[in-house]
Amino acid sequence: MRRLTLRRAPGRPLERLTARRSTRPLRPARLLGVTAAAAVLALTASGCVTVHGELALMPPATPAEAAQALADFTSAYNQADKAYDPAFDARRVTGPFGEINQAGLRARAATSPGGNAAHRPLELTDARFVLPRKAGWPRWFLADTDSNLDTDAGPGDQRWLLVFVRNGPQELWEVAHLVILAPSEVPRFAEEDGYAVPVAAGSDAYAVAPEELGAGYVSFLKDGQQGALAAGPHTTLWREQRQKGAKRPGLATQYLDRVANQGDFAPLGLRTEDGDAFVFFATRFFERQTAAPGYRPKVDPSVKALLTGEVKNTVTKEWVSNQAALVKPAGTAHDGVTIKARLQGVVGAQGS
């Protein structure tokens, strides 16, 4: 697995959870090729062949193409962060991460019109690419990288996992998902013929199908019924924190969660060596704060920059939340789904 150092492109601060640094050796992903004859035989046997190739099982990119996509993203991300101008990386981000990124840049452009005086270029190194074969478009791959913007000191303390999506042969590679994990939390991904194995959105081979993760998460946050969800910082503790802050003197807070799984928000999963599924999925939620009569809720300047309407006694913030979950095989009795990471950001606000 080749390593590369990319210089250019920090970003705005991202809400994330820090995890313990691991000493577990990182296993480079193998990127093996197959001969043309073997590929033809495999595709014919699977029945995934058409005249135009729409159903042919294809890798999303070569290692060199994946490395270029990462370099292009990093460069655009750094330009956008330095100028606080979302236009610089608008064509390199999409989905939940893209919405968080673009809203954050718009907010900072309003609060710091001169740009980012504290700009520090993002460097993504030790990149390992996980390339799943699939038929048709969109195609996607995972870049498992080390970032220089970790909050902990020292190299290798956290891994940035970026999911790149491409919707057609004439389209650019864009980052749709980003989560941040300790090295020990990054699973070893299964391979077939040298390529990663994607998990179908509707697969019934797991405790919860990837396309149902958002609905299950939203339901839990509403009523507290865990179902297949394991307790942890992104489930039980997150819900407890919401409940504690729901009623404060002079201020009431309500939450409304929604599934977000269409288009570039669609869940994407990979099979691990242990037979689990590692799935990226997104949700959207609204946080409504209502002040007591005669008072107004305080609005942070970064939120005010995204505000529409006038805050009289209520402000409703819209958030996008990006999660990664480890899903056990079907038949798992307890804790079938563990939310491993969550990254979220405010993307809009409404005053009333």
Cα-to-chain-centroid distance, residue 27 = 22
Instruction: Report residue 23's pLDDT band, with 50, 70 and 90 as the boundaries.
Output: very low
Instruction: Report residue 3's pLDDT band, with 50, 70 and 90 as the boundaries.
Output: very low
Helix (H) or strand (E) holding 82: helix 63-83
- Answer whether residue 42 shows pLDDT above 90: no
Task: Give dist(CA 52, CA 224) in Å, integer.
Answer: 48
Structure tokens at 30: 């193998």
The 10s digit of each residue's pLDDT in 79-115 is 999 999 999 999 999 999 999 999 999 999 999 999 9
- Answer whether residue 290 shows pLDDT above 70: yes
Average pLDDT, the chain: 86
266 touches 201 (CB < 8 A): yes
Instruction: Report residue 152's pLDDT band, with 50, 70 and 90 as the boundaries.
Output: low
The 10s digit of each residue's pLDDT in 181-207 is 999 999 999 999 999 999 999 999 999
The CA-based dihedral angle spanning residues 70, 73, 74, 79, taken in that order and rounded to the nearest 10 degrees: 160
Task: Give dist(CA 266, CA 79) in Å, integer.
Answer: 28
The 10s digit of each residue's pLDDT in 224-275 is 999 999 999 999 999 999 999 888 888 999 999 999 999 999 999 999 999 9
pLDDT at 54: 63
pLDDT at 133: 96
Task: Give dist(CA 244, CA 236) in Å, integer.
Answer: 12
Task: Give dist(CA 1, CA 4) in Å, integer.
Answer: 10
Widest distance between CA atoms in the chain: 76
DSSP codes joined into one string, 306-340: TEES--SSEEEEEEEEEEEEEEPBTT--S--EEEE
**Domains of the chain, each with CATH number or no CATH:** 1-22+60-186 (3.10.450), 198-352 (no CATH)
- Answer whether residue 44 shows pLDDT above 90: no
The 10s digit of each residue's pLDDT in 294-351 is 899 999 999 999 999 999 999 999 999 999 999 999 999 889 999 999 999 999 999 9
For residue 205, count other CB atoms closer than 10 A to its CB: 14
Task: Give dist(CA 315, CA 296) in Å, integer.
Answer: 9
Q: Looking at per-residue confidence, does 8 or 203 come out higher?
A: 203
- Answer whether residue 39 shows pLDDT above 60: no
Task: Give dist(CA 225, CA 231) in Å, integer.
Answer: 11
Omega before 138 within 30 of 0, i.e. cis: yes
What is the end-to-end Cα distance of the chain in Å, rounded? 54
Crossing angle (nearest 10°) for helices 95-111 and 63-83 = 20
Among candidates 159, 153, 218, which has minimal Cα distance to 184? 159
Q: Which amino acid is at 50?
A: T
Phi/psi at 189 (5° precision): -95, 140
The residue assigned the tokens 């970064």 is: 302
pLDDT at 33: 32
Mean pLDDT lowest among 22-26, 162-166, 304-308: 22-26
Reported in sequence order, the residue ranges of the chain that DSSP labels E, i.e. its strands, are 6-7, 57-58, 123-130, 134-135, 139-147, 159-166, 174-181, 191-192, 195-196, 198-199, 247-248, 251-260, 268-271, 277-291, 307-308, 314-327, 337-351
In this structure, what DSSP letter does residue 272 have? B
Mean pLDDT lowest among 19-33, 147-161, 217-231, 319-333: 19-33
Mean pLDDT of 160-186: 97
331: left (phi over 0), alpha (psi -120 to 50) or beta: left
What pTM does this model have? 0.83
Give percent of the chain with pLDDT exceeding 70.
Answer: 83
The 10s digit of each residue's pLDDT in 110-138 is 999 999 999 999 999 999 999 999 999 99
Q: How deeply is 184 buried, as exposed, middle or buried, from its count of CB atoms within 10 A (0-12, 13-18, 19+)? A: middle
